[in-house]
Structure 1
Amino acid sequence: MRRSLAAVAAAVALPLVAAVGSAGASADPARTPARGVAVGSSRPAVAPPSMPATVYGGAWASGHVQGVAVDWVRGFVYWSFTRMLVRTDLTGRVVGTVTGLTGHLGDLDLNPDDGRVYGSLEYKAQRAFYIAIFDVARITRVGMNAETDGVMTTVHLQEVVDDFTADLDGDGVFDGDTGRTADHRYGTSGIDGVAFGPRLGTAGGRNVLMVAYGVYPNTERTDNDHQVLLAYDVRRWSLYARPLRQDAPHREGPARPADKVFVRTGNTSFGVQNLEYDRSTRTWLMAAYRGTKPEFPNWTLFAVDGTVAPRPGVLTGQPGQPTGRMVPLAAAGLTDPETGISGWEGPGSVGLESLGDGRFYVVTSGTSTVDGASRQTGTAALHRWTGGTPDPFTPVAATDDRRGRLVRR
């Protein structure tokens, strides 16, 4: 018998979502009664029932869509397209963009406590890893510059640098951005997934920023089978935040995270691409590109029960069998009988956003030809969580009023 993920918030009971066409008006948050408020914020923790069925993020020549953040109070969606940030309203109308990035902008999340958007930002050649913080109220036109228009600051994460540059073979040489060597502690390739939520082992409380490592795909190593999650308290990050100069990356940031946690999933292709906390189930979801090690089930979506506290445990496969703070996968979805690893054949690796009541926006990427040139596109489609297998999401158009939720099993 599989145990449950977490109790679903019993008080949340919304009517079936009314689909709004792409040309429809966005919901007026001032007219929507709050059905719960995120801790430390006046922002309603649940999106209004009238969220649109789909939102289109546009077509861009800057790389594929990496992540999405939805501000349902003010009616905006934020999209990462690898080297730029796009701001649209809920009808898909482009409000503004932030360009000029030469690094890799990954997953995004809205901080409910300050209303700003946080995203992972990598500069591997410079051995620099940041959380980019976008002052989204200032993003008012297309083509704003990340360095010079005062819309973005960055905080450096030294812990990531230390693991990325670790000289595990002792030859005194940094091997660079490659996963085919013995270096890079835990197989660390950088960072990608980010999300706000309460600390692991709690049922609520103050938000922390959780940052997930990228992990190189490598079938010849045994020390790269854990996802690594760093927790940061961002309340005093104004002490570190600096405008970014890409020709001279700064190193201002916390020396260490508030917590460092390991989750054994088997090796995935570049770690947690999208990380998301769902308040209705108190669950952290980790969406990944499929791994290639034949001894693992290589699911593409994993879940961690946020109410389970990390405990010291042996990091299997690491030289010397060191210990770390570990948290188990929630025993739901498909379970591999050989490894005991649970997960789903689920989507979400290029964008996943919880709306707080069992509804999610699931992003798909695509391509479009504009003026003879290929562009990358992103579309967020409304789904409801059912917990079913192999795919735990159902498009809203195919649901009924029973409301999908993480099911006790």
Structure 2
Amino acid sequence: MKKAILILCCYLAGVCSLYSQKMIPTWPDSIATGDQGKFHVQGVAVDSINSCVYFSFTNSLIKMDLSGKLIGSVVGFSGHLGDLDFKDGKVYGSLEYKNDGIGKGISKELGVDDPKENGFYIAIFDGSKIVRPAMSAEKEDLLKTVYLAEPVIDYEASVKVGGEVKAHRYACSGIDGLTFGPAFGTPKNKKEYLYVAYGVYGDTTRDDNDYQVILQYDIKDWDSYGQELIKDKLHHSGPKKPNAKYFLKTGSTTYGIQNLAYDAYSGNFFAAVYKGKKSIYPNYDLFVIDGQRVPTKKTIISDNKPEKVAMLHLAEGGIKDIKSGISGWYFPWGATGLCPIGNGLFYISHNNKSSDGQQQSTIYKYKWSGQEKTPFSRLLLHVKP
């Protein structure tokens, strides 16, 4: 009897091993998108179960297999589709409609009217329905959007900064980086929430834009919010407030966190930015947020008044600037795509432009080391000798 049980256990272990191998693909060293139009790549997400990868190119979403073959795409956005993440068969992306320089620039390039109002959304794509090129974002049943009121309120607010009145509370320019991860200060395997980072204007004449702002949402009831996308009639269906609103001092950056990524292997959150321009800060390209530390209460100044907020903490490591106390890394890639794929490995986008102006991206496989000068090392595991 014991022998039979042992044989059965060995068999089941073998089946589980084979099943696990099928579930986790062998990620290639690189995947190239080829030419994708005039708007640059914004984010990358992977589906390990179905062995495919998604890229956002501002006004389109493309789906490719691991050999770089196009499976399908979604077009028809006049807004700004930003960072991506993948969860439970769905692709989540930040989506902005706004009338600032970025929004008007997109409208002009596409030859459409400027947005009639500001609207910040989470776009939720059903990945299984993206099966052919040039599917319509508005006309085909593959996309729902959820309205985020909080960033719109901050974007449209005016505040006092010193003796001046400035547009946009916290210098909010909208939303961009997003990811799924557990609550800060909880174990890695706990319930995951959606985190959405503000874009932040890098205005060097104001001092209330030295923090990143990250919202936390519980998406368990979001099916009731999701509505079709109609750019000429933006809806307001979504949660009134986030679960939590966090701040992180990094010094000023240019448009805030472009790519936010939770890495389950380390339990930390990675934030890639376009570096800031204030000389009082080190202006790093990359920050790592400590996922194990509980946020603490701190006081910041907003609208010339003290405000108590929940403050996140940067992880140990990197280059520490003595004057500001801020730690981070100089790393030229990641702001256009930063995606953990397990075991300390990441896909990182190298954006490029062809000679005729077509935007491209190649994602390369990197290993995180956290070293001061080379935080990521490029991997070439499958090159034949």
Category of TM-score, reference length = shorter chain: 0.7 to 0.9
- 1:158 aligned to which of 133, 149, 152: 149
More helix by share: 2
Residue 331 of structure 1: how far off its partner (Å):
2.3
Residue 321 of structure 1: how far off its partner (Å):
2.0
Instruction: Provide the secondary structure at the position in 2 that maps to 1:64.
Output: coil
CA offset digits 1:220-243 (Å, max 9, x no partner): 111000000001111110010000
What's the counterpart of residue 111 of structure 2?
none
Instruction: With the length of structure 1 as denominator, give the TM-score of the two structures.
Output: 0.81
What's the counterpart of residue 393 of structure 1?
376
Instruction: Provide the secondary structure at the position in 2 that maps to 1:168.
Output: strand
Instruction: Provide the secondary structure at the position in 2 that maps to 1:161.
Output: helix
Q: 1: CA distance between counterparts of 2:284 and 2:17?
A: 41
More strand by share: 2
Structure 1's 365 and 32: CA in aligned 2 closer, same or farther, altered over 3 A?
Answer: farther
Aligned letter for 1:135? D
Q: 2: CA distance between counterparts of 1:215 and 1:129?
A: 14
Q: Are 1:294 and 2:268 counterparts?
A: no
- Percentage identity across aligned positions? 41
Q: 1: CA distance between counterparts of 2:181 and 2:38?
A: 30
Structure 1's 181 and 290: CA in aligned 2 closer, same or farther, altered over 3 A?
Answer: farther
Task: Give runs of aligned pairs for residues 9-408 of structure 1, distance below 5 A.
Answer: 33-34=19-20, 47-48=24-25, 50-111=26-87, 114-125=88-99, 126-169=117-160, 182-204=166-188, 205-316=190-301, 319-346=304-331, 347-369=333-355, 373-397=356-380
Residue 397 of structure 1: how far off its partner (Å):
2.3
CA offset digits 1:29-85 (Å, max 9, x no partner): x975539xxxxxxx96xx44x210001122111400000001121011000001000
What's the counterpart of residue 18 of structure 1?
none
Once superposed, what is the RMSD of the aligned Cα atoms? 2.0
Structure 1's 274 and 224: CA in aligned 2 closer, same or farther, altered over 3 A?
Answer: same
CA contact (8 A) 1:223 1:319 kept: no
Q: 2: CA distance between counterparts of 1:195 and 1:322?
A: 26
Residue 313 of structure 1: how far off its partner (Å):
0.4
What's the counterpart of residue 105 of structure 2?
none
**What 5-or-longer segments of structure 1 have no aligned partner?**
1-29, 36-42, 171-179, 400-409
Aligned letter for 2:180? F
Q: 2: CA distance between counterparts of 1:306 and 1:103?
A: 31
CA contact (8 A) 2:172 2:200 kept: yes
Larger Rg: 2
Whose relative contact order is higher, 1 or 2, with alpha carbons under 8 Å and at least 6 apart? 1
What's the counterpart of residue 12 of structure 2?
none
CA offset digits 1:316-335 (Å, max 9, x no partner): 57621211011121121000
Instruction: Provide the secondary structure at the position in 1 that maps to 2:158.
Output: coil
Structure 1's 295 and 51: CA in aligned 2 closer, same or farther, altered over 3 A?
Answer: same
Instruction: Provide the secondary structure at the position in 2 that maps to 1:162.
Output: helix
Structure 1's 339 and 395: CA in aligned 2 closer, same or farther, altered over 3 A?
Answer: same
Aligned letter for 1:364? H
Residue 388 of structure 1: how far off its partner (Å):
0.8
Instruction: Provide the secondary structure at the position in 1 that maps to 2:154.
Output: helix
Comparing 316-325 with 208-217, greater Cα deviation is found at 316-325
Instruction: Provide the secondary structure at the position in 2 that maps to 1:321.
Output: strand
How many residue pairs get aligned? The number is: 346
Instruction: Provide the secondary structure at the position in 1 that maps to 2:152.
Output: helix
CA contact (8 A) 1:62 1:82 kept: no
